[in-house]
Amino acid sequence: MTGLTCGGSAPLMCGDVIFSCSDFTTEDLRGTSVEQLFTNVEADLRVADGDVLVYEEVRFPVAELASVLLEWIREPESERPDFVLDSMSFAEKGVISITRAPGGWRIGSVFSPGVRSGVVDDSSLLREIRRFAGLVRRDVTAAGIDPAFLSETRGT
């Protein structure tokens, strides 16, 4: 399935940070293993903080990102380490990173060195991650795929 807008056209916001995705697709999906679903349920992803583009990627594995972010936020804030995406689709670690900062978290990417979002408080970030995951789940369901895999551990 191609051409869907990830969760509609409205971007997701937490403070000034926006996670948006468009052109949801499953056209490269060749099976139903978690690995196939994580690497081939994709959309064009854009992460921005106001006018600052933190990261942008065509055909990003949004199902994998949503799932690992949900896994990450299960930890209480006091025990939650920095988030560094170790994606099955990229050789590099940190395609998306969320690092602790005074007053909250900052979002960045290994592909955009020196570019980071402003500080986002924990409750806003949690809401944002849950909305993003919910929209990915909705698009996965619209594509006729059971979204239960979004809460599974990668590669199982």
Per-residue confidence (pLDDT) for residue 5, from 0 to 100: 38
Shortest CA distance to 17 belongs to which of 115, 84, 110, 85? 115
Contact criterion met (CB below 8 Å) for 121 and 15: yes
Torsion 126-120-56-8 (CA) sign: positive
Q: Tell me the CB-side half-sphere exposure of residue 101, using CA atoms within 13 A.
A: 15
- Residue 16 tokens read as 């000034």
- pLDDT score, position 16: 63
Gap between the Cα atoms of 131 and 149, Å rounded:
17
Q: Specify the pTM.
A: 0.87
Q: Which residues of the chain register pLDDT less than 70?
A: 1-16, 152-156
Q: What is the pLDDT of residue 12?
A: 39
Q: In what order do the strands lie in the sheet with 17-25?
A: 12-14, 17-25, 42-49, 52-60
- 99 Cβ contact partners less than 8 Å away, ≥ 6 residues apart: 82, 83, 105, 106, 108, 116
